[in-house]
Amino acid sequence: MNSYRTLFAVACSAMMAFAAGCGDDNTDNTEPTGNKTVSDLDITPDASSMKKGETLQYKLKVTYSDGTVDDDVAGDADVSWSSSDAATATVSEDGLVTAVEEGTATITAKLGDEEETETIIVTP
């Protein structure tokens, strides 16, 4: 009977030690995505100018801290897109930019704590 108590105590100790090691050690201040952590974003194509009325579909490449890469997450629900000047250029939730009026706008893609920007100059 005493050996069952010892075995039970050892098993409980092992489970507690395992559970204590399952905490969040995300110390690099980047956002976890699933079991991965975002380390870099890249917007493509690199386009610095557009004519008024044109559209451009951006892709968003994400590199994770484990070295794996997703070539295009532009339309993913976790990605947010914004324009610094919607009167000049708008951007949809999946990265489609529309040149509205002459001027300059900065397009930003954000995933977790990481963000990437591209500056667009709209010409006549």
Sheet holding 103-111, edge to edge: 49-51, 114-123, 103-111, 79-83
Q: Using the predicted structure, report yes or no on whether residue 121 has a pLDDT greater than 50.
A: yes
Structural tokens at position 73: 């997450």
Q: How confident is the model at residue 20 (pLDDT cuts 50, 70, 90)?
A: very low
User: What share of the chain has pLDDT > 90, as a percent?
Assistant: 66
Q: Using the predicted structure, report yes or no on whether residue 93 has a pLDDT greater than 80.
A: yes
Q: CA-CA distance, 118 to 105, in Å (whole number)?
A: 8
